[in-house]
Amino acid sequence: MSVSQTKGSAASAAPDRKTVKSVPMATRPIDLPQRQLTHKGFHRPRRKRQPRRRRSPALRFTPTAWAKLLFLRDFGPTEVGGFGITPADDLLLVEDVELVRQSCSAVSVAFDDSAVAELFDEQVDDGRRPEQFARIWLHTHPADSARPSPVDERTFRRVFGRCDWSVMFILAVGGERYARLQFAAGPGGSIRVPVRIDWSEQFPATDPDQWAAEYEDCVRHDTFSSVDLSVWDDMAEWEVAQSNGSTESDI
């Protein structure tokens, strides 16, 4: 076979482009994603963002402060009370527990007025503001229940009711905890807050000997003691004087 014949047969076998008919497209509609038309063109609809949940405030203790509070709770048979000391940039983190001279029974704590004045003056001299040492009231219950007693509620309302915010914390012998944050902003109110031990904070070694000495120096057991709230009224007057710029106390 000659070369000319081979080319001719190949040409005759190839279809004519003009005679090829176009294949019709499928009549079934194509499912396309729903799109919205805006001034910027087509885009997919945005998903609704779920609102972020705000983290509720929590009262936190450093491990050392928590260990000290447990030690003080179990060292004697009565209630014991004190103040939570916090850093300036984290007012709900208790890094120390400070006792003052007090008469304690199984149902009450009566602070010595001069001891409260001394503690507050010492804290101010150390550069702390009242919200760092006079906002968190800590005390224990020598029973299994941490529920506030009527005396607790009365004390908290009378003493801390004029503060912009304050916390009452109770730790029972059985381990139950109770913490309530009250605030005076707007209409005012109060909420229960969780209690946590913040293990991320650095903490020194425990010092039970020093804690025992502090307890014995400050706490006097008085089985038949009456509840004296005058010291709390004096404390409120002291804080008003501090806010007005006075550094002296008549307590």
- Read off the tokens for 22: 């176009």
Residue 222 confidence class, pLDDT cut points 50, 70, 90 = confident
pLDDT tops 80 at residue 240: no
In a domain, 90, yes or no: yes
pLDDT tops 80 at residue 246: no
Residue 208: what pLDDT?
A: 94
- 110 within 8 A of 227, measured Cβ to Cβ: yes
Residue 86: what pLDDT?
A: 97
Residue 79: what pLDDT?
A: 95
pLDDT tops 70 at residue 18: no
In a domain, 196, yes or no: yes
In a domain, 22, yes or no: no
Answer whether 0.75 is exceeded by the pTM.
Answer: no
Name the domain count of the chain: 1
Mean pLDDT of the chain, nearest integer: 79
- 206 within 8 A of 97, measured Cβ to Cβ: no
In a domain, 65, yes or no: yes
Residue 162: what pLDDT?
A: 84
pLDDT tops 50 at residue 250: no
Portion of the chain with pLDDT greater than 70, in percent? 67
Structural domain boundaries, residue 129? 59-243
Higher pLDDT: 40 or 82? It is 82
Higher pLDDT: 23 or 117? It is 117
User: Cα separations (Å) of 120 from 48, 71, 83, 213, 247?
Assistant: 52, 23, 10, 20, 10
Instruction: Determine the 3-state secondary structure of 211 from DSSP.
Output: helix
Residue 160: what pLDDT?
A: 84
The CATH number for 225's domain is: 3.40.140.10
Compute the distance between CA of residue 251 and CA of residue 120 in angstroms, rounded to an integer: 11
Residue 231: what pLDDT?
A: 45
Portion of the chain with pLDDT greater than 90, in percent? 51
In a domain, 235, yes or no: yes
Residue-wise pLDDT tens digits, 72-129:
999 999 999 999 999 999 999 999 999 999 999 988 888 898 998 999 999 999 999 9
Higher pLDDT: 104 or 202? It is 104
Compute the distance between CA of residue 55 and CA of residue 52 in angstroms, rounded to an integer: 9
Higher pLDDT: 61 or 31? It is 61
Q: Which of 57, 65, 119 is nearest to 92 (CA)?
A: 57
In a domain, 41, yes or no: no
At position 75, the amino acid (one-letter code) is F
In a domain, 47, yes or no: no
In a domain, 10, yes or no: no
Residue 51 confidence class, pLDDT cut points 50, 70, 90 = low
- DSSP bridge partners of 172: 141
